[in-house]
């Protein structure tokens, strides 16, 4: 155990069950929230596994790098707030939180998220902004109730394909990612008008008269140094 300058053993800060119970709050809608925000935890206290029947768990604004193995015991919580920690990974067990409606992992150090997130069938809000994500697992597309996903300030170079599968998605925040802007559509050039050289004997009388009339109009326009007249669009242009 580390010692201070006087050679005495330093005391670890103890966070026990009684202290955790004192952090239980009643939300405006009558639910119970365990609020452990701003506690300077680097490790989630083991004692809170005794409080797993609560509705909400707030572990935000701490120094937590990993979630404990017993996180799956909190299968009743509807809101899990983990923002502003040092999380590098999310455990696959997080997919067992079947009642989760809101998951906030914003402002951490995540480079990927587990495919088990796709099992959170009641999830409506997923915030993964301010991390280091480059891709999302395709299982995210299975979150049929998801209406909002926050992906801002990550390292995405393209919009994740799985977002197209989210039937109820109303907003996806991809601000401040290195996604190149869409290229302007290149106009398709119109094919040039075609001129067909045919023998006069191969034309019917009407087509022959039309060609001769067009030819006379073209010659007259050139003599007057005027723009060439519009030819008949209904028939192929011919030159005899």
Give the tens place of pLDDT for each residue, 139-164. 999 999 999 999 999 999 999 999 99
Q: Does CATH number 3.40.50.2300 belong to domain 17-173? A: no
For residue 85, is pLDDT > 90?
Answer: yes
Q: What is the mean pLDDT of residues 96-117?
A: 98
Name the phi and psi angles at 164, rounded to 5: -70, -20
CATH 3.80.10.10 residue ranges for the chain: 17-173
Q: What is the pLDDT of residue 9?
A: 42
Q: What is the mean pLDDT of residues 186-209?
A: 69
Q: Report which of 74, 157, 171, 69 is spatially closest to residue 120, judged by C-alpha positions.
A: 74
Q: What is the residue-averaged pLDDT of the chain?
A: 87
Q: Report which of 184, 131, 135 is spatially closest to residue 156, judged by C-alpha positions.
A: 135
Cα–Cα distance measured from residue 110 to residue 179, given in angstroms and rounded to the nearest whole number: 19
Identify the DSSP state of 85.
S
For residue 10, is pLDDT > 90?
Answer: no
């Amino acid at each position: 155990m580390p010692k201070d300058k006087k050679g005495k053993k330093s005391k670890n800060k103890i966070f026990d069950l009684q202290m955790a119970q004192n952090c239980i709050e009643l939300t405006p809608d009558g639910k119970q929230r365990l609020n452990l925000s701003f506690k300077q935890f680097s490790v989630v206290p083991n004692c809170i596994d005794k409080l797993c029947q609560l509705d909400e768990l707030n572990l935000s604004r701490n120094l937590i790098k990993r979630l404990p193995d017993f996180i799956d015991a909190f299968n009743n919580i509807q809101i899990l707030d983990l923002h502003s920690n040092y999380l590098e990974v999310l455990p696959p067990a997080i997919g067992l939180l079947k009642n989760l409606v809101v998951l906030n992992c914003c402002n951490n150090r995540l480079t990927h998220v587990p495919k088990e997130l796709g099992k959170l069938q009641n999830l409506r809000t997923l915030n993964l902004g301010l991390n280091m994500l480059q891709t999302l697992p395709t299982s995210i597309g299975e979150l049929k109730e998801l209406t909002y996903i926050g992906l801002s300030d990550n390292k995405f170079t393209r919009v994740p394909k799985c977002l197209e599968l989210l039937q109820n998605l109303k907003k996806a925040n991809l601000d401040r990612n290195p996604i190149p802007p869409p290229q302007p559509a290149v106009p398709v050039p119109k094919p040039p008008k075609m001129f067909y050289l045919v023998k006069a004997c191969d034309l019917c009388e009407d087509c022959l008269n039309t060609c001769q009339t067009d030819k006379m109009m073209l010659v007259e326009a050139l003599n007057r140094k005027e723009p060439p007249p519009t030819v008949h669009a209904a028939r192929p242009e011919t030159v005899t």
